[in-house]
Amino acid sequence: MQIAISVASDVDVSALVVAPADAQACLVLAHGAGAGMAHPFMNAVAAGLAQRHIATLRYQFPYMEKGTKRVDPPALAHATVRAAVRCAARHFDGVRLFAGGKSFGGRMTSQAQALAPMPGVQGLVFLGFPLHPAGAPSIDRAAHLHDVEMPMLFVHGTRDKLAEPGQMRPVLRGLGSLATAIEIEDADHSFDVPKRSGRSNEEALDEALDGLAMWTQAWRIG
């Protein structure tokens, strides 16, 4: 089901809702920097989570809605995250709520949460957290995560060039018990795996979504 979300008086964005009849949780899911909410990866995640009794609300950032390539300023991106979370809370009243996204979308979600907690959200989910640009290892983008005072799930591949294990693992240790990691062996930033791994991309994504679903059951806040 496609709906519209009002971000500001002059800014509306589209969203897609996938709601299994037996939904036990809802994930507010933001897209990555280079592809929108209807990208095949996003479709596969939404469909896979529905099979695991998790509803999703996927949404566009304003720049993607307009068809431009330059991402929105952080303040507008954060406002969009908050508007999507409010919309999901109304749409899925009484269902446990999580927020996050793929790469850029997950980082914008955590930045928004770090600045001011979003009511009703019980945890954050990152599908490939973009810790640093490819080929330029750094942990600067993780600084704000220390201001997120709720459970966080980091799902990433061991071949992710935007979150190299040597950089990512110390960051997660520094976040303590609030951070949970699911490492998908041989997966890259798109959760694709090479043929030599002996499994398909679909199997790698299934592993990620199985872990995500189990984590949402483990965390029950409030």
pTM of the predicted protein model: 0.94
Tell the burial category of 94 from Cβ atoms under 10 Å away from its Cβ (0-12, 13-18, 19+): exposed
User: Does residue 221 register a pLDDT over 90?
Assistant: no
Q: What is the pLDDT of the chain when averaged over all its residues?
A: 94
Reported confidence tier of residue 33, pLDDT bands at 50, 70, 90:
very high
Q: Round to whole Å and give the CA distance between 72 and 76.
A: 6
The strand order across the sheet containing 54-59 reads 2-8, 11-18, 54-59, 25-30, 96-102, 121-127, 152-157, 179-184
54-59/25-30 β-pairing: parallel
Residue listed under structure tokens 């059951």: 217
pLDDT band at 220 (very low <50, low <70, confident <90, very high): low
Residue 137, sorted as left (phi over 0), alpha (psi -120 to 50) or beta, turns out to be beta
Tell which phi-psi region holds residue 103, choosing left (phi > 0), alpha (psi between -120 and 50) or beta.
left
Q: Are residues 37 and 60 in contact, defined by beta-carbon separation less than 8 angstroms? A: yes
Higher pLDDT, 123 or 166: 123
Whether CATH 2.60.40.420 fits 2-218: no
Asked if residues 84 and 57 have their Cβ atoms less than 8 Å apart, the reply is yes
Average of pLDDT values for 193-220?
A: 91
64 falls in which pLDDT band (50, 70, 90)?
A: very high
**CB proximity list for 40: less than 8 A, separation 6 or greater:** none
What are the tens digits of pLDDT across the range 124-176?
A: 999 999 999 888 888 999 999 999 999 999 999 999 999 999 899 999 999 99
Inter-CA distances, 4 with 59, 95, 118, Å: 9, 20, 20
Alpha-carbon separation of residue 91 from 13, 27, 114, 171, 188 (angstroms) = 16, 12, 24, 34, 33
